[in-house]
Amino acid sequence: MVRRQREGGAEAGAEALSAETTGSIVLVARLTVRREAAESFRRFEHGAAEVMRRHGGAIERTVEITSGSDPTLFEEVHLVRFPSLVALDAYRADPELAALQHLREASVVETHVAVGKDGPRYG
């Protein structure tokens, strides 16, 4: 399931998962960022990654997309993993993550999140 939102967290979209979900949770987040606020965005992401680690989560990979029609923006795609829905929920509720929110709000214009699980391996 894909969730689209403005000024929302990279953790959005977990509502699409049921309490019966077991195993790793994988988020694919595409964030549109104000180029002028890239430093605030990086500070948020470094802090959020630290909070994630405490809950067993990790940003496994990032891809910066530099091409686009608006030179004032750039996109970054994150592949994020949590060991369970419980761990993801704990991350989302962490007060230290909430304390970083002002950095995210200053820098992120839009977030698209797809929530899923590992798929088949092709090679």
Distance CA 68, CA 30 (A): 14
Coarse DSSP helix, strand, coil percentages of the chain, rounded to the nearest 5 percent = 35, 35, 30
Q: Where are the domains of the chain?
A: 2-116
pLDDT (0 to 100) of residue 10? 39
Per-position pLDDT tens, the chain of length 123: 333 344 344 344 445 555 455 689 999 999 999 999 999 999 999 999 999 999 999 999 999 997 778 999 999 999 999 999 999 999 999 999 999 999 999 999 999 999 999 999 998
CA distances from 58 to 39, 70, 122 (A): 20, 30, 23
Fold topology of 2-116: Alpha-Beta Plaits (3.30.70)
Cβ atoms 103, 34 nearer than 8 A: no
Nearest-Å Rg of the Cα atoms of the chain is: 14
